[in-house]
């Protein structure tokens, strides 16, 4: 089979399309014939050698996928050959940029029936990150107010939609050109990211930080005492959190079948809109990573490698 691989860490030029042996599923694994693979910032971190997890070389890049079960290993219950599935390959987030990929049975689910593989491959990490940030980390309640920093990004767009559907009041930041897009997703208030938060935003119950840096730091000023700041980017200042009487933390997403089934149900109910930015062939994985890093322009939305028919 063909796979996009790296033998050394570095810039996108280290990615090479190679012929390798098709893997066999082991305990708790399924072999997926990949139709589409999502491209995300974490793929770039792994390629560059900046992953927080050990990543032995050589490796095949990619985590998000959608495709068809080809075979199942021992203990991989709940799936059978021919099932259309979507999800994440494994806890190391590798192996999806390939014609076939091994996936942990506990990190995939049945693909939503109303969408195709390209759309399904855009969902797993970003949609589950948004869900977990809102409800498992920020513990957002109905009628509460949440501020989403970076609401027009791939995670932010789902955070805005999911929070809105849950009955929360949603305030989100983005560039001036994306403010109308935020409102179309359900944001009650869209704030230009260049504006001072303190001047534009009333105190909120929770902040979902998808930006980091100075914006994260300044968001403390609009967080109610007892509120929660949740970052998917970097660890917030714990001293500042204590001084203001709030909880603040960084988390890594944990993709499970149960989370994916919840997202799939929302998609099939017509409650989530997906934004696909660029669709490229497997052989263009290097170009996809150049898009990730801003070296090539691409439209707003998820970058997808379309691999199978």
Domains with residue ranges and CATH for the chain: 2-123+274-306 (3.90.180.10), 126-250 (3.40.50.720)
Mean pLDDT value of segment 147-170: 97
Does residue 148 register a pLDDT over 80? Answer: yes
pLDDT of residue 308: 77
C-alpha angle 80/83/89, rounded to 5°?
A: 90
Handedness of CA 224, 228, 232, 233 (dihedral sign): positive
Tabulate helix, strand, coil % of the chain (nearest 5): 30, 30, 40
Does residue 52 register a pLDDT over 90? Answer: no
Task: State pLDDT tens for residues 282-303.
Answer: 999 999 999 999 899 989 999 9
The pTM of the full predicted model, rounded to 2 decimals, is 0.96
Does residue 309 register a pLDDT over 70? Answer: no
**Contacts with 265 (C-beta within 8 Å, 6 or more apart), sequence order:** none
Residue 272 three-state SS: coil
pLDDT of residue 249: 97
Mean pLDDT value of segment 181-195: 96
Residue 268 three-state SS: helix
Mean pLDDT value of segment 149-153: 96
pLDDT of residue 109: 98
Does residue 48 register a pLDDT over 80? Answer: yes
pLDDT of residue 252: 93
pLDDT of residue 193: 92
171, 189 Cβ separation under 8 angstroms: yes
Mean pLDDT value of segment 82-103: 98
Does residue 149 register a pLDDT over 90? Answer: yes
| Cis, bond preceding 58 (omega within 30 deg of 0) | yes
Mean pLDDT value of segment 55-83: 97
> How far is the CA of 296 from the CAs of 195, 287, 308, in angstroms?
28, 8, 24
Least reliable range by pLDDT among 49-53, 127-131, 266-270: 49-53
């Amino acid at each position: 089979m063909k796979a996009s691989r790296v033998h050394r860490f570095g810039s996108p030029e280290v990615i090479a399309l190679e012929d390798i042996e098709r893997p066999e599923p082991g305990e708790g694994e399924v072999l997926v014939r990949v139709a589409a693979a999502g491209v995300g910032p974490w793929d770039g971190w792994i390629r560059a050698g900046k992953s927080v997890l050990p990543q032995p070389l050589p490796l095949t890049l990619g985590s998000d996928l959608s495709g068809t079960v080809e075979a199942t290993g021992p203990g991989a219950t709940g799936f059978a050959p021919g099932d259309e599935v979507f999800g994440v390959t494994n806890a190391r987030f590798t192996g999806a940029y390939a014609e076939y990929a091994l996936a942990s049975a506990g990190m995939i689910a049945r693909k939503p029936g109303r969408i195709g593989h390209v759309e399904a491959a855009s969902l797993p990490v970003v949609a589950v990150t948004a869900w977990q940030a809102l409800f498992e980390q920020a513990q957002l309640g109905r009628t509460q107010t949440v501020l989403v920093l970076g609401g027009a990004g791939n995670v932010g767009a789902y955070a805005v939609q999911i929070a809105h559907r849950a009955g929360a009041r949603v305030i989100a930041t983005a560039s001036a050109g994306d403010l109308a897009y935020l409102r179309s997703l359900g944001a009650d208030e869209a704030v230009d990211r260049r504006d001072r938060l303190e001047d534009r935003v009333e105190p909120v119950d929770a902040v979902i930080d998808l930006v980091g840096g100075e914006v994260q730091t300044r968001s403390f000023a609009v967080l109610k005492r007892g509120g929660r700041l949740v970052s998917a980017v970097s660890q917030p200042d714990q001293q500042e959190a204590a001084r203001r009487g709030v909880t603040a933390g960084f988390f890594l997403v944990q993709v499970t079948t149960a989370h994916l089934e919840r997202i799939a149900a929302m998609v099939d109910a017509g409650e989530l809109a997906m934004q696909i930015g660029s669709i490229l062939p497997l052989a263009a994985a290097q170009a996809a990573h150049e898009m990730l890093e801003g070296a090539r322009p691409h439209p707003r939305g998820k970058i997808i490698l379309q691999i199978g028919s």
